[in-house]
Structure 1
Amino acid sequence: MKTLGFIGMGNMAQALCTGFTASKKISASDIYAYAPNQEKLNQNAKKIGFIPCKSLKEVVSKSDTIIMACKPYQIEEILSEIKNDLSGKALISIALGWNYEKYAQHVNVNRPANSDYNHTDIENVRVQFVMPNTPAMVNEGVFLFEKSNSLKEDERKEIKELFACLGTVEELPDNLMGIGGAVTGCGPAFVDLFLEAYADAAVKYGIPRTTAYKLVSQTVLGSAKLQLATGTHPAVLKDNVCSPAGSTIRGVTALEEQGLRNACIKSIDAIMNK
């Protein structure tokens, strides 16, 4: 990968672009971007350092790897304009719902050699679907790489390393991308509800709102880092805090009575069964 092009420059694209350049794995001068709002695009270009483009065809022509970072509903129209210009390029899609097979319905994708489909010419577009989440904006993201893809092996390794600069990279089988996205993509909103609720409780008993958010957020961050660093089962970590007849076990009991764990599972059920 010598040059990288973004189609769309919203919050997620800005986070990726900033993280990629900060990693030194690619220079800002080798990153191009196009977005319909040219004024905002130019403002972001000055802030981040990428090179703004005036058209879709310009960004595609100047980039060997394209990141489709626009709204999902915009992609079909975009592809109708540029699909003939994508030959020989890698296309990384971070748009929800636009996985490998969906792109295959719209562009002449290069099929991996071990697929059930006829292997096509190497000059066709190579596709990889990646599902990000919003904590990528603070270098704590989760990036789910769909197993089905048609990137070259060394190319995929390079792209995984690039995304790893902004968080954790995991590969999932195609049939698990949905549940993976439900947990990691929707999960931040559920955690935010949790943060807000405990901050409200802190405010109820006298802690100022700003301090309450700081205390609760740091507690969640610290607890998550402790689990990741040690690999300890969450139940064991919970037990370590629960003294016999103590305050914590009383709080845990109240949460169980209110069905916290069941509510968490039901929130995922609601997404998966929509």
Structure 2
Amino acid sequence: MDTRNVSIGLIGFGNMASAMADGWIASGAVAAGNLRACAGRFEALMPRCEARGMVALPDAAEVVAASDVVVVAVKPYMIEGVLVPVREQLAGKAILSVAAGWNCEAYERVIPGTNHLSTVPNTPVAINEGVIACEKASTLDSEQRDLVFSLLKLLGSPIEVESRLLSVAGTVGGCSPAFIAMVIEALGDAAVKHGIPRATAYQMVSQMVAGTAKLQLATGAHPGAMKDAVCSPGGTTIRGVAELEAAGMRSAFIRAIDAIEG
């Protein structure tokens, strides 16, 4: 099925679901009119959908009935209550979960016999630059799998991991944008401290982060080698690196992931 003809339904329309919708629409490969969503507060949902050219529907049953691919984007504790009543309607649909903590085994307990894939995306999917951790185990058939991965590739880079690694992969991909935003803010503050206007500081730092990441992806270079390439003997950069090491920067990032996975 061509992505422009596929009907996508989002059960829940919070930050992640709306980011995915924005990414699909921005890609030009998914028609906004083929996206529909339901949420707890229909009156708040309607203007958000209308602004995107999407269709707002009052409940999950109508979303499922009108969709080829069903994106489950409600809070994890709500999944069973939302999906069990529409279990029969879900038969034959491709179910794409973006709920943290819900893997293939968990879905098989609640809606056995359905076709589902568990993923954990991050918010840069909104600009087609996301990373989407995907569980290798799924119950999608081959045709559904091809379709779903075609849709995910429009949002960024889907990366498959074993079931036991889905949680930490989702944490690294899904939570780290907050950490990197803090890095951008901190370096921006440093630039402002030394006289650069804030808007210019953020533009410089964000482009530096984007460029460095793209360089690593393009070359496959080890991050340590990229760091060494900028550190001349006795130079300015190595002095800054030494200060970051003294402040425990590396261990702070590792401890942040440990705290979430704890």
Look up the match of 1:200: 189
For 2:255, give the aligned amino acid.
Answer: K
**Normalization by structure 1: what TM-score?**
0.88
Measured against aligned partners, the alpha-carbon deviations of 1:191-236 in whole angstroms (never above 9, x if no partner) come to 1221122122222222222222222111111111111111111112
Look up the match of 1:23: 27
SS of aligned partner of 1:186: helix
Counterpart among 239, 245, 263 of residue 228 in structure 2: 239
Look up the match of 2:109: 105
Structure 2's unaligned 5+ residue stretches are none
Look up the match of 1:81: 85
Structure 2 Cα separation of the partners of residues 199 and 243 of structure 1: 24
Does residue 230 (structure 1) correspond to residue 219 (structure 2)? The answer is yes
**Normalization by structure 2: what TM-score?**
0.92
* Matched-pair contact (CA < 8 Å) for 2:22–2:127: no
Q: Flag as ranges the 4+ runs of structure 1 deviating above 6 A.
A: none
Counterpart among 73, 92, 96 of residue 92 in structure 1: 96
**Per-residue deviation, 1:38:** 1.7
Measured against aligned partners, the alpha-carbon deviations of 1:23-77 in whole angstroms (never above 9, x if no partner) come to 3443333322212222232212222222221222111111122101122222121
* Matched-pair contact (CA < 8 Å) for 2:26–2:127: no
Structure 1 Cα separation of the partners of residues 15 and 254 of structure 2: 29
* Superposed counterparts of 1:163-178, under 5 Å: 163-178=152-167
Structure 2 Cα separation of the partners of residues 242 and 31 of structure 1: 49
Does residue 59 (structure 1) correspond to residue 63 (structure 2)? The answer is yes
* Superposed counterparts of 1:1-274, under 5 Å: 2-109=6-113, 125-272=114-261, 274=262
SS of aligned partner of 2:88: helix
SS of aligned partner of 2:241: helix
Measured against aligned partners, the alpha-carbon deviations of 1:217-264 in whole angstroms (never above 9, x if no partner) come to 111111111111111111121111111211011111111222222222
Structure 2 Cα separation of the partners of residues 208 and 18 of structure 1: 31
Structure 1 Cα separation of the partners of residues 155 and 68 of structure 2: 21
Q: Alignment length, in residue pairs?
A: 258
For 2:191, give the aligned amino acid.
Answer: A
Structure 1 Cα separation of the partners of residues 184 and 168 of structure 2: 23
Structure 1 Cα separation of the partners of residues 117 and 70 of structure 2: 10
Report which stretch shifted further, 135-144 or 203-212: 203-212
Structure 2 Cα separation of the partners of residues 26 and 256 of structure 1: 46
Report which stretch shifted further, 206-215 or 57-66: 206-215
SS of aligned partner of 1:13: helix
For 1:153, give the aligned amino acid.
Answer: S
Structure 1 Cα separation of the partners of residues 26 and 125 of structure 2: 13
For 1:76, give the aligned amino acid.
Answer: E
Q: CA RMSD in A?
A: 1.7
Structure 1's unaligned 5+ residue stretches are 110-124
Identity of aligned residues (%): 45
Look up the match of 1:119: none
Structure 2 Cα separation of the partners of residues 263 and 15 of structure 1: 28
For 2:56, give the aligned amino acid.
Answer: P
